[in-house]
Amino acid sequence: MMFAIFFAFWRFMQILTLIPTMGMLAYFVHGFVEANRLTPNLYLVSFIVSVLGLAWAMWTLLSYHRSSANARGVGIVDLLFVGAFIGASYSMRAMAHADCSQIRAGDPTAISFGIFGSATVNTSYDADVDRACAMLKACFAFDIMNAIMFFFTAVLALMHGDRLSSGDRKSYTRETHYHRHGNRSSRSPRTTTSRSHSHSHRRAYV
C-alpha cells in the first residue's frame, strides 16, 4: 500500500514537470524546423528525453498493476532515465549561470525636505525578462528535478521487486514442504499395510 502511494505521487510529480518541459522545448524545436536549420543539442537532447520520460511515466502510472508485477524492470528503466536526464542537464549546463532578467531603475522622483533641501531618488524599478532564456532555464531546472525524482521511483520499484521475489521464494518453500509432507503421509498407510500384510503372512506359515 505504501509503495503504491509513494510511487503514484512521484510519478504524478514527474508528469507535472515533464509536460511543461516538453511544451517549451517543442516551441524551440518548431522554430528551428520552420527556419530550416538544425536543432542544437541544447534543445534536442532535452526534448527527446522529456518526451520519452513523459510517455514512460504515464504508461507505468496508468498500468499500475502491470508495473507492480514487473517492479524490477520498472526500476531498471527508471535508472536509465536518471542517466538520460543527467545527460540532458549537462547539455544545457550553460543555463546554470545565465542571467535572464535585467532590472532597470525607473524615472527619478524628487523629494522635498522643506528648508533642509530636497533629494532625488528612484522609487520604481522595471524588470526586463528574456522569455527564451527564462524558458530554457526552467527546462534545465526541470531536468535536474526529474533526474532526482526518477531515482526515487527506481529505488522504490527495486525495493518492491525484492519484496515480491522474497514472497515468491517463501510461497515456493511452503508449497514444496507441503508437497513432501503429503507424499510422506500418503506413503505411510501403504507401508503400514504392507508390513501388517507381511507379518500376517509369516504367521500363517508358522
So what's the pLDDT on residue 100?
Answer: 83
Residues 15 and 165: their CA atoms lie apart, in Å, by 29
> For residue 19, is it within any domain?
yes
Residues 6 or more apart from 106 whose CB is under 8 A from it?
A: 122, 123, 124, 125, 126
State how many domains the chain has.
Answer: 1
* Global confidence as pTM: 0.69
Which residues does 199 contact at the CB level (< 8 Å), separation at least 6? Answer: none
86 touches 37 (CB < 8 A): no
Is residue 130 a part of any domain in this protein? no
Q: Which three cell numbers stand for residue 175?
A: 508449497
Domain span at 147:
2-96+138-195
pLDDT in tens, the chain (206 residues): 677 788 889 999 999 999 999 999 999 999 999 999 998 988 999 999 999 999 999 999 888 777 777 888 999 999 999 999 999 999 999 888 888 877 666 666 666 555 655 666 665 555 667 888 999 999 999 999 999 999 999 999 888 765 655 544 444 344 444 445 455 544 545 444 444 444 444 443 33
